[in-house]
Amino acid sequence: MRRLLAAVFVLMLGGCAQYQWVKPGATQQEQDRDNYACLGEATKLYPPKQVPRIARTAYTTPKKTSCETVGKKLECVTTGGDYVPEQIEYVDGNADGRNHMVKQCMGMKGWRWELVEPKKFYEPKQPPETKPLSESKKPR
């Protein structure tokens, strides 16, 4: 699933090289149909499975002691030393298997995952053709 989301993100970036499924002569509707069928089969065998993963380990903030003299007395204050628990995130434990199966399925249907150049939204204008001064009309 992460790779699928990454592919969608890459496709959204304008002006950047991108990957997409390619099959000579196929339409976007055929690609959508085949991809949907492959994803459906892969999801049956590798359903989404949320598994916990440690995103950040637990730690203790550093201690800092600041002291100042008040009258004839030294007063110190210590801050920090606080415990911050680990942070847990949930990820799809079956994403890799599901993505691998989609790739195999699409390949069996004749599709290839290829790097394609982005379409240009405009074509730069070519400068007008100029002739060297010797070939142009000379003033009389």
DSSP 103: H
92, 2 Cβ separation under 8 angstroms = yes
* Cα distance between residue 112 and residue 42, in whole Å: 18
**87-92 and 73-79 strand pairing:** unpaired
Note if the pTM is more than 0.75: no
Q: What's the pLDDT tens digit per position in 96-106?
A: 999 999 999 99
The pLDDT of residue 84 is above 50:
yes
* Cα→Cα distances 32→9, 27, 28, Å: 17, 9, 6
Query: What pLDDT is recorded for position 22?
Result: 93
